[in-house]
Structure 1
Amino acid sequence: MCFKNLLVASLFWCVFSISAQNPIVPNVGLNDPHIHIFNDTAYVYASHDKSIKNDKFIMEDWWIWSSPDLVNWTKRSVLNPKDTYIGKAFSRCWATDAAYKNDKYYFYFSEGNEQTGVVVGDTPYGPWKDTLGKPLLVSDLTPTHEYDMAVFEDSGEHYIIFGVWDYYIAKLNNDMISLAESPKKITINNPRGPYNLDGNNHKMPTDDKPFMHKYNGKYYLSWGCFYAMSDNLYGPYDYKDSVIKEKSFAEGYDAPTWPNGFLQGRHGSFFEWQNQWYYIYCDISQTGNRYFRDSFISYVHYKENGEMETIRVDGVGVGNYNANNSIEAEDYFKSNHIKKVENTKGGFSIEPTEKLGYVVYPNIKNFSITTTLEFEIIATESLQIEVRENDPKGEVLFTCDIPKNEIYTFQNRSFETKNLKDNQSICLVFKDAKPQSFKLNRFKFKN
């Protein structure tokens, strides 16, 4: 077989679409998710558990879905193992990742827990060609297993991170399908993991499925919901925490969990889009079957020391809101000239960094009986907040004149609402607000 000319014949275009919150695509077994933003669209590269009846991991292909808003998802393509160097049906199609370079897209896949391959395409969803025709990472390359990779870009260069218990990193060549160096082991100080909560399990100190991201100059190496930080890409890394804790769970989302508890099996990735950070991860609370997993998305907020705040695990997800509930200001979908700030009593607020900063909250439901908008806010100077439709250039629905605070503490300011309709997207534009002149903690709509 000539792999250089191999076209993935099983590519299905726009098979169907679905609108969901958490799980993002329910009841289909989409798991091990990595999201990348290409052309202002979110693409999730994922594994696929075959059936709710599974009593072991049966994963026969790899999936790609896309979304313009993290709420509405469309299935874009399927990669079958017979259309790669594997060359036959295969039931251990494990975790994937993707990258873009040289006007090409690269889709990396795990051959079970042994090797890693890669296919190349002209779009984020193919069609794909296995131009290498063999594994990129072979099973005897390092002392660990060469699977469950992450591909990370830093200053235009790409790196591949892989393994279980111990992780290895190597720079990729410009062709993205070969290594520029021998893999190097990543040192993690005092690691923890779902099998190693007390730090004494030196045989299984972390987990499989490593991931790498960067925030504010720091590198974050994660394995599921656990993470470590470093000033250097190659490490060493200092273990910090888990982003999931007992307090994370909304009612109905805390059980069932994996044999080692709710911290196990949270394979996924961290990503940024439109000045907001997210974590997408596996969950079995709605299927009840560890072999038929869902994917959830939660907001991620960073503390001043660089550590990540504990996330919420619930059915609301991201990118949509309920007018009957209080909305945390930092849980926006899009922002400009805005930053998150850590509150002294816990939680986060937002504040402007320049004039005409704005935040967008799309898909707000249940406006029909709303008459009042109440902000919880600190304003050291008076300002005006325009409530616009959809974006900062949208129709002005109404305005809110915010007075200066008499005391420096969060105060509630209420305003009559106008022109709202159900399932409305709103944009809050902070007119003439100077940097650090106000903080918005949360807001809610009232009858």
Structure 2
Amino acid sequence: MCKRYINLLMLLNVFILAFAQNPIVPNVGLNDPHIHIFNDTAYVYASHDKSIDNDKFIMEDWWIWSSPDLVNWTKRSVLNPNDTYIGKDFTRCWATDAAYKNGKYYFYFSEGNEQTGVVVGDTPVGPWKDVMGEPLLKSDITPTHEYDMAVFEDNGEHYIIFGVWDYYIAKLNDDMISLAEAPQKIEINNPRGPYNPHGNNKNMPTDDKPFVHKYNGKYYLSWGCFYAMSDNLYGPYDYKDTVIKEESFAEGYDAPTWPNGFLQGRHGSFFEWHNQWYYIYCDISQTGNRYFRDAFISYVHYKDNGEMATIRVDGVGVGNYNADESIKAEDYFKAENILKVENTKGGFSLQPSENSGYTIYPNVKNLSDKTILELEVIATEASELEIREDNPEGALLFTCKVPKNDIYTFQKRTFNTGNLKESQSLCFVFKGVKGESFILNRFKFKN
């Protein structure tokens, strides 16, 4: 792609950002992102592509950014290889991860595709100290390469997962800078990957950059947008699917892509915050350069069988809403006493599990001229939906008295709005619900 086209594309992104939040931090090369929630703040630990002019991977340091809402991001610190055991300028500062234990924070980093180091700090952003003075994972401890690690906490214990093609796992000691056991290979049944779409490539069955998360008692081992599931952290894992598919992409976000297609290069992590799940991952659709990547965030929803639904790849991102468009109820930023349920339309809806359950949608824009709120609901009993400002105890803006459905199917109900500003944080508080009496699928504001 020519530089003139790339510069034009980047200029257009400036205008799109008025109602967009993907990339989370545009045009800076933030990539290989892992998000952790510390003290109710999101921290992204990431690699850093140097320049839009890169024609190969040039990554000279590691970054940490933070956000209170997944929308507004602030650069907090930089880890330079000179301040680690590497001890010199280095252009292969690859993927990272972080963890917290016993009052200390641990920032793990890849020395290219060979070894893994770790630094220690008193805050999520450092300052950092390399207390070991040598790699935690040296290049000869397993048959794979000891890089692109993930650190996973389960019941107070921490584990490190790493490798390419074949993945290995080992429990960490309480000091978080040494292994409690020899690394063990993780078995994956019927794996797939960007180089192995049909299961025939035995030499490159998966990818690099493994990650582990846990949902509803199940363990999820992912490599980019591919994932497998298990009842046991150490496996074996059964390959399931990809969370990105051709139908994922909004217009303008499906190309350009990697040489092996849109499933390649989606390094990232899955995380939970305020009862909502997310996937943060690499994307090159807005830079046009595989060597200068962005980070995107999408909502993640789980099916009844535990599998993850296909995500949406777009510029809207998360925690950010446009009142001129229909808003999916399950795409909230925060919720209490709310269940996500699969619906008859092939998607997901919200079901309050208790009276006064609530959802919060911050950063809702273009509200000032909206006089009608349309809800798409099933109500087997008459109920109320209070629309409040910011939180469940916030100012009451208006109330929707939802009548009982005459048939059990989603019906559109309209209500007069009140007290809306141009941009506002809205809290939906569900009143008068009994058992499974109320389901909200989506809502839309109208003039």
TM-score, normalised with respect to structure 1: 0.96
Q: Which residue of 2 aligns with 1:430?
A: 430
Q: Which residue of 1 aligns with 2:315?
A: 315
Deviation at 1:391, TM superposition (A): 0.6
2:50, 2:43 → 1: CA distance? 21
Deviation at 1:366, TM superposition (A): 0.6
Q: Which residue of 2 aligns with 1:181?
A: 181
2:105, 2:436 → 1: CA distance? 41
1:34, 1:433 → 2: CA distance? 38
2:102, 2:248 → 1: CA distance? 41
> Structure 2, unaligned stretches of length 5 or more?
1-16
Look up the equivalent residue of 1:35 and give its one-letter code. I
Deviation at 1:395, TM superposition (A): 0.0
2:413, 2:169 → 1: CA distance? 52
Q: Which residue of 1 aligns with 2:169?
A: 169
**Secondary structure in 1 aligned to 2:142?**
coil
The within-5 A match list for 1:200-211 is: 200-211=200-211
**Between the two proteins, what is the percent identity of the paired residues?**
82
The within-5 A match list for 1:365-444 is: 365-444=365-444
1:148, 1:435 → 2: CA distance? 45
Q: Which residue of 2 aligns with 1:135?
A: 135
Look up the equivalent residue of 1:242 and give its one-letter code. T
> Structure 1, unaligned stretches of length 5 or more?
1-17
2:438, 2:431 → 1: CA distance? 12
Q: Which residue of 2 aligns with 1:6?
A: none
Q: Which residue of 2 aligns with 1:256?
A: 256
1:151, 1:368 → 2: CA distance? 45
The answer (yes or no) to whether the contact 2:382–2:432 under 8 Å persists in 1 is no
Deviation at 1:354, TM superposition (A): 1.1
1:50, 1:423 → 2: CA distance? 35
1:434, 1:363 → 2: CA distance? 30
**Secondary structure in 1 aligned to 2:82?**
helix
Deviation at 1:434, TM superposition (A): 1.9
Q: Quote the RMSD (CA, aligned, Å).
A: 0.9
**Secondary structure in 1 aligned to 2:66?**
strand
Look up the equivalent residue of 2:441 and give its one-letter code. N
Look up the equivalent residue of 2:60 and give its one-letter code. E
Q: Which residue of 1 aligns with 2:299?
A: 299
Q: What are the superposed Cα offsets for residues 417-436 of structure 1, whole Å, 9 maximum, x if unpaired?
A: 10000111100000131231
2:335, 2:190 → 1: CA distance? 37
Q: Which residue of 2 aligns with 1:275?
A: 275
2:27, 2:344 → 1: CA distance? 41
Look up the equivalent residue of 2:410 and give its one-letter code. F
The answer (yes or no) to whether the contact 2:209–2:267 under 8 Å persists in 1 is yes
Q: Which residue of 2 aligns with 1:14?
A: none
The answer (yes or no) to whether the contact 2:43–2:65 under 8 Å persists in 1 is yes
2:353, 2:384 → 1: CA distance? 16
Q: Which residue of 1 aligns with 2:100?
A: 100
Q: What are the superposed Cα offsets for residues 286-316 of structure 1, whole Å, 9 maximum, x if unpaired?
A: 0000000000000000000000000000000
Look up the equivalent residue of 2:411 and give its one-letter code. Q
The within-5 A match list for 1:54-133 is: 54-133=54-133
Q: Which residue of 1 aligns with 2:214?
A: 214
Look up the equivalent residue of 1:172 and give its one-letter code. L
Establish whether residue 357 from structure 1 lines up as the match of residue 378 from structure 2: no
Q: How many residues align?
A: 430
Deviation at 1:141, TM superposition (A): 0.6
The answer (yes or no) to whether the contact 2:368–2:423 under 8 Å persists in 1 is no
Q: What are the superposed Cα offsets for residues 295-354 of structure 1, whole Å, 9 maximum, x if unpaired?
A: 000000000000000000000000010000000000000000001000123000000111
Establish whether residue 37 from structure 1 lines up as the match of residue 31 from structure 2: no
1:405, 1:347 → 2: CA distance? 20
2:443, 2:218 → 1: CA distance? 32
1:138, 1:436 → 2: CA distance? 54
Look up the equivalent residue of 2:365 and give its one-letter code. K
Q: What are the superposed Cα offsets for residues 33-79 of structure 1, whole Å, 9 maximum, x if unpaired?
A: 00000000000000000000000000000000000000000000000
1:335, 1:108 → 2: CA distance? 32
**Secondary structure in 2 aligned to 1:434?**
coil
Q: Which residue of 2 aligns with 1:234?
A: 234
1:275, 1:290 → 2: CA distance? 33
Q: What are the superposed Cα offsets for residues 359-390 of structure 1, whole Å, 9 maximum, x if unpaired?
A: 00000111122110000000011111100001
1:383, 1:32 → 2: CA distance? 45
Look up the equivalent residue of 1:132 and give its one-letter code. M
**Which contiguous aligned blocks of 4+ residues in structure 1 show a shift greater than 3 angstroms?**
none
The answer (yes or no) to whether the contact 1:351–1:435 under 8 Å persists in 2 is no
Establish whether residue 338 from structure 1 lines up as the match of residue 338 from structure 2: yes
Look up the equivalent residue of 1:201 and give its one-letter code. N
Q: Which residue of 2 aligns with 1:52?
A: 52
**Secondary structure in 2 aligned to 1:430?**
strand
The answer (yes or no) to whether the contact 1:298–1:318 under 8 Å persists in 2 is yes
**Secondary structure in 2 aligned to 1:82?**
helix
Look up the equivalent residue of 2:260 and give its one-letter code. N
